[in-house]
Amino acid sequence: MNVPADHRLPFPPDFRLVLASQSARRHSLLRDVGIPFTVVLSEAEEVVSGEPAAELAEANALAKVKRARMPVEPEAGTFVLGTDTLVTIDGVVMGKPASAGEAAAMLEALSGRTHQVVSGVALQRIGGAGRTVAADRVEVASAVTDVTFSRLDRGQVESYIASREWKGKAGGYAVQGLAALFVTEVKGEYSNVVGLPLCLLGRLFRRLGFDLVQRTWLEDGL
């Protein structure tokens, strides 16, 4: 099979992105748009209660950046990215289900209704000499996408639970898998539902001095 040539501009050699996430979905999204990155663990614990969903997601994302386990001291100009995705409906925040029963209850709550997928994104630029800023800078923001599910019957819920796609997924589903068959409408960034709002990410990079489309440093963050 012929693979289409990639005519996108290359990244400069001094571009470095560290992703504080083990999520295969986020890895795939970054690769889809050609962004090079390395992965590290984060010691942050996700919180799913006590605050509105956007505030929780942003706080979790920032904690992942702050508690990223960097193998070595990062070079000046390095970006560190943390993301957290939650699902909310009727003011109830849904994180990752701990059991098949909890996942089934989440799907039943979402059945035939519109819910919100909220992703918090935290992007840090390590400060230092040269073209980089003198001190660390951090941008934090969130994206919200409305997702509408068709009405699910018991057999559909049970079959989806048996697929195990719910494991590790906020709201108990993965839109890029079987659950795509449940979705009747999406309003907002689709990539946000997958786990990383790429349009928002691009804006945060520009604020910190780098354009992901042009693959170039900016004189000042926008």
Better-predicted residue by pLDDT, 134 or 177:
177
Domains with residue ranges and CATH for the chain: 17-215 (3.90.950.10)
Which own/partner contact pairs does 67-74 have at CB distance under 8 Å and 24+ positions apart? 67/20, 67/42, 67/43, 68/18, 68/20, 68/40, 68/41, 68/42, 69/40, 69/41, 69/42, 69/43, 70/18, 70/40, 71/40, 74/16, 74/18, 74/126
Confidence of residue 220 (pLDDT cuts 50, 70, 90): low
CA–CA distance from 115 to each of 5, 77, 84, 145, 149 (Å)?
39, 38, 17, 8, 8
Q: How far apart are CA 23 and CA 98, in angstroms?
A: 17
Q: Is position 84 annotated as part of the catalytic site?
A: yes
Model confidence band, residue 72 (pLDDT cutoffs 50, 70, 90)? confident
Go through the chain and tell me how many residues it has.
Answer: 222
Residue-wise pLDDT tens digits, 103-149 = 999 999 999 999 999 999 999 999 865 444 556 899 999 999 999 99
Query: Across the chain, what does the average pLDDT equal?
Result: 92
**Percent of the chain residues topping a pLDDT of 90:** 82
User: What is the predicted pLDDT for the residue at 177?
Assistant: 93
| Catalytic residue chosen out of the listed positions 84, 90, 153, 211 | 84
Residue 96 contacts by C-beta under 8 Å, 6 or more apart in sequence?
Answer: 46, 168, 169, 170
pLDDT at 89 over 50: yes
Query: What pTM was estimated for this model as a whole?
Result: 0.90
In this predicted structure, the answer to whether residue 221 has a pLDDT above a threshold of 70 is no
Give SS3 for 96. Answer: coil
54 pLDDT exceeds 70?
Answer: yes
